[in-house]
Copies of this chain bind each other. A is one copy, B any other.
Amino acid sequence: MTDKHAEKKMTDLGKKMLKEVEGGEGPTFETPLRTKSNTIYDDGIGCLRLGEKKELRKFLSVSQARTFMQTVAIAAKTKRFIKEELHTSIRGLFYQLKFSLGEDLDEELFSEQSESNALIEDLEVAMGVMREDLHLTTDRKGVVAGALKIRDKFAGDETVIDCEKQGRSGWMIPSDVDNGMEIEELEADWVLVVEKDALWQRLNEDRFWKKENCLLITPKGQASRGTRRLLRKLADKKLPVYCFMDCDAWGWYIYWTIKTGSMNLAYLGRDFAVPESRFLGVTMQDIIDYEFLQKLTIKAKEVDIKRAEEMLGYPWINRHKPWVDNLNLVLKTKKKIEQDALQGQRLTFVGEYVNEKINKKKWLP
C-alpha cells in the first residue's frame, strides 16, 4: 500500500468520527470480532480468516471509552509517522502514546513479544491495512540464500541485494518486504523452508541452494511477518514451497501457521498464508523408512501430545489421512523426532533426505 493510501485510510477514519460528533452522536468504530467463534477456515482460499461478525465500539460507553480513545490516538500517531516518512516499533509507539496520554496505558499491550497487540490489530483489521503500511516495524529473524535479487529503496538509498552473494550469512529478511522493495530477479525454481537456523547453516555449507536451484529460507522458529509475506510473494510467483520442520508440537505449529495462519493470527488472512506449502518432514513414517533414525527418536513432551490431540480436532487438518496417521503415531509411541537427528549418521545426509522426499513425493499436505 502506498503511504498516501494508508494515510488516507487514517484520515477517513477521523473524518467519519468527526461527522458522527457533528451529527450529535458519539463516535463509533466498527471492527470484525477477533474471537474463536468468528474464526473460520476458508476452504476456497485454504486458510484461516475472520468471519462476518462485527463489533461496534462506542466512545460513549464506560467500558469502551478507554481503549476507544487509545485506538484513535494510535491512528493519529501512525498517520504522523507516515507524514514524517519515519518508522518505529510498537514499543516506540507505546512511548509516543505514553508521552501524549500519560500513565493510563497497559504496557503489556505494546510488547514486541506479546502476540496480542490488540489495539493495532483492531486498526489493521477494521481499516484493511497492514501495520507495516502504518510505518510500524516488527521483529525480524528469517534468513534467505539463493538465486533471488531484491531491489530495496530505503531511506534515500537504492540497493540491489543478491541473495547468492551473502557468503556464510545469507540475507536477513527485513520487517517489511512490501513497501519500497521488489523482486528484481528470481531464478530459483522452488523454496525450502527449514525450521532451525542450525540446519540452514548445515545446508548452506553444502551449497544446497546452488546445487538444487532453490531458495533456502529459515524462519528461525516461528516465522516473522516479514518472512511470511516473502513466502506469500514467492508462492505468487508460482514457486513450490516445501517446509522441513521438527516432528513435534513446535514444528507442526510453525508449519500450519505458514500454511493456513493460526487461530490467534487469523485476522491476517490470505496475505500472510501460503496454503500451497507442503510438509516435507520429518515425520513418524521417516522413522520406519530410515532405519538409523530408530535410535534417534526422543520422548514426546506433554505439549507435543496435547498439540497432536488438538490438531486431530481441526477439520482442515484431520481430513488429510497422512496427517492423521502421523499424529496418531505420535500419540501411540509417545515419541518425537527432530530434524537435527538426520545428521546422526553423517552430516551431509540432510540434503540427500530433502531430495529423496521430494523425488518420491513423500510429503504431507
Interfacial residues, chain A to chain B (CB-CB below 8 A): 81, 84, 86-89, 91-92, 94-96, 98-99, 102-103, 107, 112, 137, 139-141, 143, 150, 152, 154-157, 159, 161, 165-176, 181, 196-198, 201-202, 204-207, 292, 295-296, 298, 338, 340-345, 347-348
For A99, what are the chain B residues with a Cβ–Cβ distance below 8 Å? 292, 295-296, 344-345
**B172 contacts A207, CB within 8 Å?**
no
For A298, what are the chain B residues with a Cβ–Cβ distance below 8 Å? 107
Known: A86-B205, A92-B347, A169-B173. 7 other contacts (CB 8 A): A87-B347, A89-B201, A95-B340, A152-B169, A154-B167, A155-B205, A159-B167
CA distance A338 to B107 in the complex (A): 12
**A88 contacts B169, CB within 8 Å?**
no
**A344 contacts B96, CB within 8 Å?**
yes
For A166, what are the chain B residues with a Cβ–Cβ distance below 8 Å? 159, 161
Taking each of A89, A152, A295, which has the highest tally of chain B beta carbons within 10 Å of its own beta carbon?
Answer: A89
**B155 contacts A204, CB within 8 Å?**
yes
Identity of the chain B residue whose Cβ is nearest the Cβ of A175 in the assembled complex: B201
For A172, what are the chain B residues with a Cβ–Cβ distance below 8 Å? 143, 169-172
Identity of the chain B residue whose Cβ is nearest the Cβ of A95 in the assembled complex: B344
**A155 contacts B174, CB within 8 Å?**
no
CA distance A198 to B89 in the complex (A): 6
Between A and B, 26 residue pairs with Cβ closer than 8 Å are A86-B205, A87-B201, A87-B347, A88-B202, A88-B347, A89-B202, A89-B340, A92-B340, A95-B340, A95-B342, A96-B347, A99-B296, A99-B345, A103-B295, A152-B169, A154-B168, A154-B205, A155-B206, A159-B165, A159-B166, A161-B169, A168-B176, A169-B171, A169-B173, A170-B172, A171-B172
Question: How close is A241's CB to chain B, nearest CB, in angstroms?
Answer: 21
For A154, what are the chain B residues with a Cβ–Cβ distance below 8 Å? 167-168, 205
For A156, what are the chain B residues with a Cβ–Cβ distance below 8 Å? 207
For A204, what are the chain B residues with a Cβ–Cβ distance below 8 Å? 155
CA distance A196 to B343 in the complex (A): 34
**A96 contacts B169, CB within 8 Å?**
no
Question: How close is A282's CB to chain B, nearest CB, in angstroms?
Answer: 12
Identity of the chain B residue whose Cβ is nearest the Cβ of A165 in the assembled complex: B159
Question: How close is A285's CB to chain B, nearest CB, in angstroms?
Answer: 19
CA distance A170 to B174 in the complex (A): 9
Identity of the chain B residue whose Cβ is nearest the Cβ of A177 in the assembled complex: B168
**B198 contacts A92, CB within 8 Å?**
yes
Which of B86, B150, B157, B168 is within 8 Å of A174, CB to CB?
B168
**B152 contacts A96, CB within 8 Å?**
no
**A197 contacts B344, CB within 8 Å?**
no
For A292, what are the chain B residues with a Cβ–Cβ distance below 8 Å? 99
Question: How close is A98's CB to chain B, nearest CB, in angstroms?
Answer: 6
Question: How close is A264's CB to chain B, nearest CB, in angstroms?
Answer: 21
**B95 contacts A296, CB within 8 Å?**
yes
**B86 contacts A348, CB within 8 Å?**
yes
For A165, what are the chain B residues with a Cβ–Cβ distance below 8 Å? 159
For A340, what are the chain B residues with a Cβ–Cβ distance below 8 Å? 89, 91-92, 94-95
**A198 contacts B88, CB within 8 Å?**
yes
**B167 contacts A87, CB within 8 Å?**
no
Question: How close is A337's CB to chain B, nearest CB, in angstroms?
Answer: 10
Which of B91, B155, B341 is within 8 Å of A198, CB to CB?
B91
CA distance A216 to B71 in the complex (A): 34
